[in-house]
Structure 1
């Protein structure tokens, strides 16, 4: 986590007892919450706030994004690096609705976010006034809470409550919609008004007696296990529980797997670390889940991309589920022991209760190691006569060659094939080094989120890894990154000229009908140079490592357009509706499965047709 700013110091130009506008009060309320960076765009109904912010520009840094969606994702990236609340700003109407996607993204991934929007004056509410949109009504399903503020007197309390809600319990987004007249109203603010949150009782760090009973039951269950498995998710990272996770694993000898959002919670090369499960997880990891007798899930919500066909998931296991959100326990997967609590607190509580016996599960770990050796987690990609000279895997191998041994980097991935290759093939060693859009799967996430991450921690180089499709959705933020003078942002486009993940499904399951997936684009290196970036094009494996190394050393933003094999696919993969052990290993395996299914289908039809004839 990054250290926060100094405690609130009100500007000398505004005496404590002086009247202020609602907009000034809003600025001071944000500063009191230790906000130091805002991402947004001004507009008519939020203009009073921007007018007031000029007085506080030494304490509030505003980043003028090119699209409100980019501002929301940038605030997410900032929050994911710092562990604090990210803040984004928009005006009413389209400004507010452009924030809906990042708000939904933060909701799905549990990212603490406060979105502030301007609204038409109170007298015009409900009249379909110019740029009026019921943004509180729109965002009810995707926020922890939201507010419509019509009086400046409510601003101190509302802001305090919003930040409290966003970062307590399971983190998430909160929306504050403030009418223009509330921003213009003048009064002396009261900062001592208590929060008024009846019914909001988030789980605190310390385990209560009910949780302790469940923890003791979980310990007893783990002590009886012969083939236990520990599944770590994003909740471990959010709780700053990676060291506690490692201590627990090393004390017990229980092997560890991490979800997509949990990558970095356990070092990639740790002897107990197996890899990532799920739709594009490794075969040996999914097979281990299907063989284990206790699955200890801490901080993961059992997303469908992890479980596959739920009824066939972990069929032999007793499920122990630790989550700070009680609603997640038992929601998707039948849970035998549920512990509501903070991941780090639960790990620190449970570890001393477990005996030191790292060798107890040697036979189980050897069984998994045999599966790993059989199924080769780092896939070997053969090259045919017409294979392009640059494969996606070459890009990630080159990245590892440059990044390994360094600790000054983070990667933000967009959504698609490149996202899964990055998850599979980059050597993740540290917490908060991997940032991606998981639950919502938002294309266009990477570039603005990388900007937010780079502002949060200027000591790290932040790589935004994108597909050519997702990059083009928010490429406008290249201008913002240049305007902000950010030298530590590098963009790598894995460019295959397709909406790659959709094309892969069309190839494997829809008879290669590539309906609206071939994708054109500009010369990305030239586009980067037009924005004042250094732009490079790479189309051969021999040049990939040097391009990455040069980009790293370049004192300024760099974009590398990696023009890769167009029809490379991400394997292994679990087809939709299948159990996680029913994986497609590669194209040849898929072809065999397809032939076998066709033969079986014909046999079934023959058996049910009159006189044994096929229809």
Structure 2
């Protein structure tokens, strides 16, 4: 059958069961948006206030649903506005397909209006990208984009299409999604070796990351924890994989991780690293990470083996596949003394704040008290992000969405929009700070336009909190450009967008506002005025170890 390039875009989306896309139209993308008009009964497009918001929405949609996020943009600034969102997805291994439209092929290289080589710009932050200037190549490029985004270590792929290709016509034949490449193979001898080490150790710790979520290996992880009686700690990307109430859950690891998690790593004789990459927020001093332990690393990406920390044993493979092969060889064990020793370190670190009326920990706990276990929590980046990682009662995978690798301020509202659209039956709570929220609060108009009942909790301390904290501790209180004292009235701004706004200064006021917000069918902003001297603790400085941990 004959189809235009724009129709082929829609048909390939349908081949991959895509019914939701985010984006923003423009001149070079007019043909695609014209075709979208005819497919609007099958493909639902959500227009954001800014292309960056669309990219974050596609990301949040992917993280919360397990599907591939799809984002459209036009050429030039439309395409470059996607860059931060694509990089965010790349760093956190999120499957996304970005479809951009460029000027016509005969105008390429002439510095034409809104021309940009977006494939050149995004080459370092995509798994792969395609420049399509011949219609015969379009369908295959799109199909391969979905395949590449989802196989192995997941990530974003960009397809840039010239405008003349979107208008041209060619034969189109429907096709099933391309099969994914098989996961890396490992040997039984490797499994036997790892099993023997685990069966013989005395002080083991499991340290896992987002690779467990990506491979849906939660059940296998639980079985390993229980069968071998091993305490576990996790990176921020894996919050919710094990229940917050599990007695073997040591909590978050790393710079702002728990005392128990960091002490366990320091004293262990075996660290089992599953689907994680030993980032500099975990292994702050790589040469002194787990100094008494042998380290096993299991990861689907061979490039991560020995990249940041030198390890003793490794298997390149999908974590679910490896665990399924490993579990039958694991002996039933009890490490009672060891588990009791490390869990005894669990305690809450509190910052004395005389006269403080609204504390971050208290408002996060109150939020959890008033919502159910299916709630999806989304954060921006900064102090509020770490408080949320520490204090939200995590229960489920794909229910804590945050920018881990890139640390993108402004990520939260777009991601919350994508999560709410992908999960209309679930409550979405967006934690942010006044610094982060100022970056993308323009997406308030998007939340209002689609009547999304996202509750945004703004921890407003009038400073760039995390940087301010570092300046306090390490830079002699030289508060260079971190004391904002902006006069933004978030309640009035919310009302200007058409949302509902509340402001609170005490825990009781917050609880009252939040209970009202739960009954409102539409977006709500709750401004929570907190003290600028609030701290995220514990804290291990860059290059430090457990011996350098700051707890007060």
TM-score (normalised: structure 1):
0.87
1:181-201 deviation line (CA, Å, top 9, x unaligned): 000111222445997x9xxx9
Partner residue, 2:304: 328
CA contact (8 A) 1:84 1:167 kept: no
* Aligned counterparts, 1:318-357, within 5 A: 318-357=294-333
Corresponding residue to 2:476 among 511, 530, 536: 511
Partner residue, 1:72: 55
| Change in 2 beyond 3 A, CA 1:212/1:103 | farther
1:178-237 deviation line (CA, Å, top 9, x unaligned): 000000111222445997x9xxx9552xx63x3433222111111121100001111111
Distance 1:566 1:202 in 2: 50
Distance 1:33 1:460 in 2: 24
Distance 2:451 2:521 in 1: 11
CA contact (8 A) 1:232 1:265 kept: no
Partner residue, 1:584: 550
Q: 3-state SS of the aligned residue for 2:131?
A: strand
1:337-357 deviation line (CA, Å, top 9, x unaligned): 111111122222211211122
Distance 1:181 1:369 in 2: 63
Partner residue, 1:389: 357
1:357-401 deviation line (CA, Å, top 9, x unaligned): 2xx2101112113322xxx2x2234332xx432122221121132
Distance 1:415 1:211 in 2: 41
Distance 1:556 1:475 in 2: 15
CA contact (8 A) 2:62 2:68 kept: yes
RMSD: 1.6
Q: 3-state SS of the aligned residue for 1:371?
A: coil
CA contact (8 A) 1:80 1:435 kept: yes
Q: 3-state SS of the aligned residue for 1:304?
A: coil
Q: 3-state SS of the aligned residue for 1:474?
A: helix
Distance 2:143 2:401 in 1: 27
1:404-446 deviation line (CA, Å, top 9, x unaligned): xx22311001000000001111111111111100000000000
Q: What is the deviation of 1:73?
A: 0.3
Q: 3-state SS of the aligned residue for 1:63?
A: strand
Partner residue, 2:237: 261
Q: What is the deviation of 1:581?
A: 3.9
Residue 197 of structure 2 corresponds to residue 238 of structure 1: no
Structure ID, larger Rg: 1
Residue 73 of structure 2 corresponds to residue 81 of structure 1: no
Partner residue, 2:279: 303
Residue 225 of structure 2 corresponds to residue 249 of structure 1: yes
TM-score (normalised: structure 2):
0.97
* Aligned counterparts, 1:207-606, within 5 A: 208=185, 210-357=186-333, 360-372=334-346, 376=347, 378-384=348-354, 387-403=355-371, 406-487=372-453, 489-519=454-484, 520-586=486-552
| Change in 2 beyond 3 A, CA 1:216/1:122 | same
Distance 2:187 2:420 in 1: 38
Larger relative contact order, structure 1 or 2 (CA cutoff 8 Å, min sep 6): 2
Unaligned 5+ residue runs, structure 1?
1-16, 587-615
Q: 3-state SS of the aligned residue for 2:370?
A: helix
Partner residue, 2:105: 122
Residue 125 of structure 2 corresponds to residue 142 of structure 1: yes
Distance 2:215 2:525 in 1: 33
Partner residue, 2:43: 60
Distance 1:534 1:230 in 2: 44
Distance 1:525 1:217 in 2: 60
Q: 3-state SS of the aligned residue for 2:281?
A: helix
Q: What is the deviation of 1:240?
A: 1.2
| Change in 2 beyond 3 A, CA 1:531/1:86 | same
CA contact (8 A) 2:378 2:431 kept: yes
1:546-574 deviation line (CA, Å, top 9, x unaligned): 32222223222211000111211111101
CA contact (8 A) 1:151 1:185 kept: no
Partner residue, 2:73: 90
Distance 1:320 1:383 in 2: 42
| Change in 2 beyond 3 A, CA 1:389/1:440 | same
Unaligned 5+ residue runs, structure 2?
none
Distance 1:561 1:156 in 2: 47
Per mean C-alpha deviation after superposition, the further-off stretch among 434-443 and 120-129 is 120-129
Q: 3-state SS of the aligned residue for 1:251?
A: helix
1:485-533 deviation line (CA, Å, top 9, x unaligned): 223x110001110111000001111111111111214111111111111
Q: What is the deviation of 1:295?
A: 0.4
Q: What is the deviation of 1:303?
A: 0.8
Q: What is the deviation of 1:249?
A: 0.7
| Change in 2 beyond 3 A, CA 1:521/1:140 | farther
Corresponding residue to 2:166 among 183, 190, 194: 183
Q: 3-state SS of the aligned residue for 2:548?
A: coil
Per mean C-alpha deviation after superposition, the further-off stretch among 536-545 and 490-499 is 536-545
Distance 1:582 1:32 in 2: 54
Distance 1:213 1:106 in 2: 35
Distance 1:580 1:51 in 2: 58
Distance 1:337 1:203 in 2: 23
Distance 1:134 1:213 in 2: 48
Residue 11 of structure 2 corresponds to residue 28 of structure 1: yes
Q: 3-state SS of the aligned residue for 1:257?
A: strand
Distance 1:496 1:25 in 2: 50
Distance 1:564 1:194 in 2: 50
